[in-house]
Amino acid sequence: MNTHTQPNTSVKMAGAKENAYSRRILQYMEGFLVSKTLFTACELGVFDHLDASEHPLSAMAVAQGLSTSKDGMERLLSACVGLELLTTQPILYSNTEMSTMFLTKSSPQSLYHSIEYSSNTIYLCWHYLKDAVREGKNQYEKAFGVSSKDLFEALYRSDEEMVKFMQLMNSVWNICGKDVLTAFDLSPFKSIYDLGGCSGALAKLCVSVYPECTVTIFDLPKVTETCRKHFLSDEDLIPCFTLGDFFKDTLPDADLFILARILHDWKEERCILLLDKVYKSCKPGGGVLLVEALLSEDNSGPVTAQLYSLNMLVQTEGRERKGSEYTRLLSAAGFSSVHIHSAGHIYSVILALKG
């Protein structure tokens, strides 16, 4: 006869729940280890080096090619295998399809520069997240020793930093831009201004998708100069340029204004100021297209937008918002007929028309 007391069902369930909770917390704690592994492998050139090779390489070969220690490289490559960024067979390493597509510099879909900016700029700001939560303001002064009184003076604190930020935006729109621009049919809008068009990636895509439209980048003089120098080639469908500060300068008349990841940088009063200027410059029947990562109406997610909102706290004056909040801001500026459409990935597109 079995005299041992068998655990009852409720005790088993409680133990399983406790184990699941602890695993989840440990995964959250390890999140930064995953990020830094990815950042380091990219910045050392692991994926580019393997991509350039005609055959899989040993850890020693990669270490010699990238001038690192063999032991350190073995550990890094092993971690990348665990993250499904590399494959091994069994001691020779090669890129996965995902890594070749998104982590090599030469790929048209490369996120390398986005990763580089996250590692060297965003990550440093997040070191001061606790201070940002306590103070309710961005942390550029602590992270980089520069005043953030003028937000984009802080972001563009050197020519090198400006190029890096523009590369970040370029990689984002190379991935998401076409979905954003085709969420609605924009062909009826013959004159389109991309306010804060930055690297020109979204404007170039707009020209290719809607060749009958005139597309103009409106941005600061030093940004448009950098765009021409670093981000446009002779083969590109070249958009037009208008130099200016969209807060300080008069906006030209247009059928459609695109504000892609612009309003999330700013406090509500600045958003209303800009939207009011846009409304006044919209031609009759024109509109504005907003591209943002939207928070759910019940505050339950999505987690990407929630984390982005924390990033806005440490880096900018703004925040991510709900669709209803953008609708209210647009209505306050005079826009009507607000339509919201998911563009896949992480962004939603909001089209509002001038009645």
141 CB neighbour count, 10 Å cutoff? 14
The three-point CA angle 309-312-317 to 5° equals 125
Of 260, 111, 114, 235, the closest CA to residue 181 belongs to 260
Could you tell me how far CA 149 lies from the centroid of its own chain? 23
CB 266 within 8 A of CB 242: no
CA 1 vs CA 4, 5, 7, 9, 117: distances in Å? 9, 12, 17, 21, 67
Question: What DSSP assignment string belongs to 115-162?
Answer: HHHIIIIIHHHHTTHHHHHHHTS--HHHHHS---SSHHHHHTSSHHHH
Q: Which residues, other chains included, contact 114 with Cβ-Cβ below 8 Å and sequence gap of 6+? A: 167, 168, 171, 172
CA 12 vs CA 15, 250, 259: distances in Å? 5, 68, 53
Q: Where are the alpha helices (DSSP H) in the chain?
A: 9-29, 31-44, 46-52, 59-66, 70-82, 97-102, 112-117, 123-126, 129-135, 140-144, 151-155, 159-181, 201-209, 221-230, 268-281, 303-315, 323-333
HSE-up of residue 243 (Cα within 13 Å, Cβ side): 8
Whether 264 is catalytic is yes
CA distance 331 to 335: 5
Identified catalytic residue from 55, 127, 264, 341: 264
Site of tokens 């831009």: 177
Catalytic positions, please?
264
